[in-house]
Structure 1
Amino acid sequence: MDALKKGLSMAKGGAMAAAEKTKAGVEEAATKTKEGVIYVGNKTMEGVATGVNTVAQKTNEQANIVADTAVAGANEVAQATVEGVENAAVASGFVNMADLPKTEAGSEQAAQ
């Protein structure tokens, strides 16, 4: 009977030791898993932030290109309008060509 008690006691001790090691292993695995999830989350967040910044920068660049193009187009339209009004005024005799201000476009027309 003593041998049986001693054997059961040893088995119990072994099971407890195994349970402690398993508990420690599970705790270590949980800690490493948590660290891994946090790492991946941080890297994902950095990637998203970089992506958002890249998209914002590209959008800003495209908006500037569109704005510059619109301003250039408006300037061309305004210049053509002024030239048209000048031509009409000269053609109608209301204004002499010499009375018009000297501009690049005006001096080109005067040369023609």
Structure 2
Amino acid sequence: MTQEEVALAAGTDAGYLSRIERGERQPSLPLLESIASALEVKPSAIFVAAEGLEHSLATEDSSQVNFGTDFSEDAIKLRLTFRELSKVNQRVAVDLLQALRKNQTQP
């Protein structure tokens, strides 16, 4: 999900969302809730990310997913894309990532 897609789903624009990410603006609670909904996480997950704490985040459907502390754009894209895969393709993706990790030369 791109920043533009998140902004559109949250009812704001990408520029304003970018300023929030950089700490230049503070979102209202309703906007924060809209952003969380667009990302399919609970609003508390955004606070956890801002504080840099490891936390098991509950998605909108209340299933528990451990997202750790990596809230980089690539990590978020990876998680969102993974959720959209079928169970079979999720297994293939996990196997592929494990093979990549095993064969990399640097940690």
TM category, shorter:
under 0.3
Alignment TM-score, normalising by the size of structure 1: 0.20
Q: Which has the higher contact order (CA 8 A, sep 6+)?
A: 2
Alignment TM-score, normalising by the size of structure 2: 0.20
More strand by share: 2
More helix by share: 1
Larger-Rg structure = 1
